[in-house]
Each structure stands twice: as structure tokens, then as C-alpha cells.
Structure 1
Amino acid sequence: MVTKPDKHKGSEEDAEIYGILDKPNIKYVQFGLNQRFGTWYGSNVYFGRVKKTLGFKESNNEHLSRQNCNEKINDNQYWLDTLYVCEYCFKYTDVEAELITHDQLCRYKHKPPGRMVYRSPEYTIRRVKGSKHETFCQCLCLFTKLFLDNKSVYFKVKQFEFYIVYETNSTKPMAFFSKDLYSYHQNNLACILVFPPYQRRKLGTLLIEFSYILSRNQNLVSGPEQPLSPFGLIGYLKFWCYSIVWHLTEGELNAVASVTLNELSEATGFRIPDVIQALKHLKCLSDTEIKLNVVRSWARRNKVSKGFLIKDEYLLLDE
């Protein structure tokens, strides 16, 4: 969602470095025992270099004799009909029976990895360090590549933290974002994905909000890794606009007669270029001022008074 692919997507170089292919090569994902859906993008990172079989099986000299191997698929586009993925730890196989057995034994089915950093009656967010839970984070990144058209890492995860959202009292991950701990620009988000079964629940907005709370906790003005993809920009513009309007109509700036870009940046924690982009999207930025009457009209139409999804009383960042 976040990193925009360049025009050479699908080239041999992209396939070699990032695993990007120009069309899906796995037809379906069986996510846990009860959820099955199609993939959105193609990636070779699950597969070995010599044969179009899962890489760990190629390295173990296993033969491509499984029921879902690509020789058994009528459509030559696909290398694999179904990838079976654990919905708790993201480990994978091409054999349904192996997933069923693993599901009974998965350690994360009963206790997810990482430390709780947010817990509301509805959602819990856990911070998982790539340096501590390397295999879990690598498998998560591999899974992500089937649904994000970007050049994201998938093996070198030690310098990243992953913030994963669960329903409270559930151990099934629903969405996540990653953060590069050594980002030169101090970005607060590198990659974000809401898994297909959990779309349209505002989980993307929840995680974007949380990324800015992390920045606020560090006294940073920050933002996502640039450039944003088209879909990423849509999500961020929606959040930036909402947040700016809230601060101007409900927050500490609601009584001012005029406001500067620096004041908006300080209040929201957004970088000034992001503030400008949002104000232009709101059509409330003139050459000399921010048109507060336009802002207030937008606030009424979009019910800004409801506030934000993340509630400070449920934060566990200082524990």
C-alpha cells in the first residue's frame, strides 16, 4: 500500500530482488481452516529458483508430487493452485493435511507474539520485533507480498517492528503495519496491509492513527515512507483531512481566527508537505490563508465531532 512500484514492475530485476511478478501466480490462499480467497498480485518469493515449487521443499529435495502442484493446474498462469497459510503464524505449505495438523499445534494459536501496546474492548495491538520473532515476521512479509504491489522486504526483518491488530480476546491477526527502526527520514510507517477477510472495518485508519501516536510519543513530526501508492494516498488523504479538520473545529485550534502551516503541523504531527496536500484536497487553501469556513462545512458533512478510533485511555506504551 505504501511504496509505489516503478514502471519496470515485473522485470527480471524486480523479480530477482523483490519477488515482483506481473500477474498472480498463486490462485488461492487457504487462510486457516475456514477462509479461502484469491490472491491480488504475483510473487516468486515462496518458490525455489530451479523449479516452481515451494522453496523450502526444493531445498529439502522434495519432489513436486503434491495434489496442488503446478503440473496439475489447467491454467498455465498459476504455479500453485492453493497455498495453505496458518492464520496465527503465517507458516505455509501446499498440502491441506499439513495445515490441519499444524493448526492443532501452532504456538501462537494460544498466545500471540510480541508485547501489547494497545487494548480496548474491541481491538488489541501488539508490537512484534523482527529481531526477536524473525521467522514469524518473515512469514508475515511473504504473505503480504500476495496482496501488496510494492517493493517491500521479506527476509531482512531485524531492523523492523511490526504492529499487529487483533480483536480483543482473539489470537487471529487481522492487519498490521511495519516500521523501519533505522529510517533516515524517521518515517513512522513502512508498509501496511489489512488482510482480505477483514477489509472495510476501518482497521487501516486505526493503524495509521496509531503510527502517528507512536511519533507523538517520541515528540516527532513524521509520516509514512514515500512515495505513496495510489491506494495508499487515498487512505492517507482521508485520515489527514479528517485529523486537520478535527483540530481546527474540535481541538486546540478551534478558537483561532487564522492558523499557519507550522501550527497545523505541530498540532497534528504531520509533515508540512502532507498538511499542504490535505488542505489542497479539502479545497480550503488560498494564496494567503486557510479558508476556515470551508473547513467547518466539511466538518459538519463528515461528522468530525465523533473523534478518533484510538482512545488514549487504552494505550499501553509506557508499561
Structure 2
Amino acid sequence: MAFPLRAGDRRLDEWIAAARVLIDETAEEDVAALVDDTSDGGSNTLLSSPEPEVVPTRGKKRKSGEHEKMLPDPSSSDLDDRDHVTKIRNIDLLLFGQYLIKPWYYSPYPDDAPTPRRVLYVCPFCLKYIWTARSITWHRSHCKKKKPPGRAVYIKHKRKIYEVDGKVDKLYCQNLCLLTKLFLDHKTVYFDMEQFMFYILTESGTDKKEGEHIVGYFSKEKQSFESYNLACILILPPYQRQGYGRMLIEFSYELSKREGKIGSPERPLSDLGWLGYRSYWQSVLIDIFRNNVGARPSIRDISLLTSIHEDDIVDTLESMDMLRYWQDENTIW
């Protein structure tokens, strides 16, 4: 069954049944050839040991201002050209840890590669981006980070959520946002990190030496005048449709409850984000009605109990055909 896409999405894909999937037997060979073409040597250097003299392409720490110079100028009069550039996906493949992923959208990664590249290599721990296979091999052998910065605020079994301050760990959060833009069309903030907190969900491997791999995250403004409790949310493609999105959404509302505030996600939501929120709101409302049979809670009461904004409750009840307008007010049926 296909899910309808929200207006404005440019990915133009859909979930389909397994019976409709056609397997291209040459796909693996094409991917291997593309990765080989981006390496410095003739063979796939991801599987080989780097030579001692190899140095990473970004050995020196990049200043945040250098990132910003690569972005289109919003004040530019040539807006049509700028919009045309951002519609074109600029990276064919992303190698993130053990996963080879096809990006969905354009992301303004500064192209400081020695030659034009279409494969991007990103360290799964520090999120440093590199343009050659040999350099990422060298980096992975020297990178000492095995988890996100910040402090762990949630721990359950192999899963942890880290709270990262965008002001303290600015470069890490900038790299995270650039990675996010590959999979979110409406992502607009890449470098102004100081006003955001990031909550990063990780999962540990069976071996502690493997480190904690990023599953997804959400960001949140430190001070939101419109009561937004979430600015951006992403579950990386290899981990989607496994309940992680709901986990982060629920965690964002738990933060709102601790703060004694009513929250709502910032709009516009992505197509997958919208499906995740609608599913979460529906399940919360059903649990309330199931546990309070015979009671007639008001929308205000539900909002105070769940920290879900009244407008979101009304929209969800309407989608469930459980709301009627009677005696000049909305009534739950």
C-alpha cells in the first residue's frame, strides 16, 4: 500500500509492496564501479590499508565562515538560478559507516575535493565529510570518537539519547545538519547552531569497540516564542520504519511535560514526519479514551495531560471522524 506524499515534496517516491520490486542484477556492479572511480587508486581502497603518507582531505579544522561562503546568497537577485541549483541532487551516493545510501535531495556541502566527486564519505561518529575513499579509510583508523558529544539523557538497553548544545559543539551540529539536508527537502538551517539543542538517538553494537551508531535525531529551539517543541526530526534511511521516529516524537513531548509547556512541531513537516506525528497523536488519543471509558474529557483537558497543542488534537480528531461542532464548541464523539 502506497502512502500519499504531501504537497511540495520533490523526492517523488512511495512505499510499495514487495511483489512490485524488480531486482537489477547489475546494480551491485554499478555501485562498486562508482565507488572505485572516486578512490585515489585503481582498486577499492575502502577494503585496503592506507599508505603511510596519505593524509585526509580536510586535515585542518574548517572555520564555520568557510562553510557559509559556499551557500547561495538569499539576498541574491538571481533567485531562479539559485532555486534551480538546489533542485538538483548533487551527491549520487553516501557512504555512512557500513551503509551505502542514495541521497534524496540537494545538500550544500562545500565541494573542496581536488576533482569533481559524486560520492560522499561521512564518518559515522564525528560526522566529518570526506571526498575520497583512501582519506576516509585513513580517518576511520585515526578517529577516536565512538559516540556523539554532549551528555546522555536517556538510556535503555542498547539505545541512548544524547543532548548536544549547538553552541558548544557547533561544528558537529553543522555537519549533522548538512547530512540531514540529504534526506529532508525543507531543511533550511545549516550553520546558525547556537540557538538549538540536538537530541541524538544512538544504538550500540554487540561489541563495545564498535561504538554507538547514530540512528536519528531531532533539534529544538532553546527559546521558541511559538511553543515549538521540535524544529527538525530525521531517522536515517537504514533505520526507518522501525519505531525510532515515534520514540523521538514521544521523547520531545516528555521534555515539554517536564517544562510544563504545550508543544507542537515546527512546520512544514516532511511527508514521513507528518505520517509519524499523525500516527503518534492518534495512538495517544485512543489510549486516553480506552483508559477513561464513559468520561468526556475536553480538548483542553487532553492538551494539559499530553502537552499536545489543541490545534493538533482537533486536526487529529477530525481525521478520525470523532469531532463534532455542537452548541458553539467542538465536542468529541
Q: Same fold (TM over 0.5)?
A: yes
CA 1:23/1:97 → structure 2, altered by over 3 Å: closer, same or farther? same
User: Does 167-176 or 209-218 show the bigger shift?
Assistant: 167-176
Question: 2: distance between equivalents of 1:232 and 1:180?
Answer: 18
Q: The residue matched to 1:158 in structure 2 has which SS? A: coil
2:171 counterpart of 1:132: no
**Could you say which residue in structure 1 is the equivalent of 2:67?**
none
Q: Is the alpha carbon distance of 1:15 and 1:152 closer, same or farther for their aligned partners in structure 2, counting shifts above 3 Å?
A: farther
Distance 2:163 2:131 in 1: 29
User: Quick one: which of 39, 55, 59 aligns to 2:103?
Assistant: 39
Which sections of structure 1, spanning at least 5 residues, go unmatched? 48-53, 58-62, 70-79, 292-319
Work out which of the residue numbers 229, 232, 235 in structure 1 matches 2:276: 235
Q: Corresponding residue for 1:179?
A: 220
CA deviation after TM superposition for structure 1 residue 159, in Å: 1.0
Selected match of 2:177 from 141, 149, 160: 141
Mapping 1:1-319, distance limit 5 Å:
13=79, 21-32=86-97, 34-43=98-107, 45-47=108-110, 54-55=111-112, 63-64=114-115, 69=116, 80-109=117-146, 111-168=147-204, 170-250=211-291, 254-288=292-326, 289-291=331-333
Deviation at 1:236, TM superposition (A): 0.8
CA contact (8 A) 2:9 2:270 kept: no
CA distance in 1, matches of 2:96, 2:220: 25
Distance 1:107 1:19, change over 3 A: farther
1:32-73 deviation line (CA, Å, top 9, x unaligned): 2x2111110123x113xxxxxx14x5xxxxx42xxxx2xxxx
Contact 2:186 2:268 in 1 (8 A): no
Corresponding residue of 1:308: none
Where 2:234 maps in the other structure, the secondary structure is: strand
- Which string of whole-angstrom CA distances, capped at 9 and with x for unpartnered residues, describes residues 264-285 of structure 1? 1111111110000110111111
Task: State the distance in 2 between where 1:285 and 1:206 align.
Answer: 27
Cα pair 1:247 1:267 within 8 Å, conserved: no
Name the SS for the 2:164 alignment partner: strand
When the two structures are aligned, how many residues end up with a matched partner?
A: 255
Task: Give the direction of change, closer, same or farther, for the CA distance of 1:208–1:19 in structure 2 (3 Å limit).
Answer: farther
Quote the Cα distance in structure 1 between the aligned partners of 2:254 and 2:313. Answer: 17
Taking the aligned partners of 1:97 and 1:121, their CA distance within structure 2 comes to 35
Q: 1:19 to 1:236 in 2, by over 3 A?
A: farther
Instruction: Give the alignment's TM-score, normalised by structure 1.
Output: 0.73
- RMSD, aligned α-carbons: 2.7
Q: CA deviation at 1:256?
A: 4.4
Distance 2:182 2:84 in 1: 10
Give deviations 1:99-148, integer Å, cap 9, x for gaps.
Answer: 11111222322x43110110011421110111111111110111111110
> Cα deviation per residue 1:186-237 (whole Å; 9 max; x = unaligned)?
3110001001111121111100000000000000011111233343222111
Instruction: Name 1:311's counterpart in structure 2.
Output: none
Preserved CA contact (<8 Å) 2:9 2:185: no
1:220 counterpart SS class:
coil
Q: Which structure has the higher relative contact order (CA within 8 Å, separation 6+)?
A: 1
Identical aligned residues as a percent: 36
Task: Please state how far the C-alpha of 1:255 moved relative to its aligned partner.
Answer: 4.3
Q: Is the 8 A contact 2:262 2:309 kept in 1?
A: yes
* 1:144 partner SS: helix
Stretches of structure 2 that go unaligned for 5 or more consecutive residues are 1-5, 11-71
1:84 Cα deviation from its structure 2 partner: 0.6
- What SS is found at the alignment partner of 1:267? helix
**Which residue of structure 2 lines up, in the alignment, with residue 77 of structure 1?**
none
CA deviations 1:284-312 (Å, max 9, x no partner) are 11223312xxxxxxxxxxxxxxxxxxxxx
Tell me, what secondary structure is at the counterpart of 2:319? helix
CA contact under 8 A between 1:5 and 1:150: conserved in structure 2?
Answer: no
SS at the partner of 1:263?
Answer: helix
Structure 2 length as normaliser, TM-score? 0.70
User: 4+ runs of 1 displaced by more than 3 Å?
Assistant: 4-8, 10-16
Measured in 2, the distance between the counterparts of 1:286 and 1:20 equals: 47
Inter-partner Cα distance in structure 2 for 1:134 and 1:196: 24
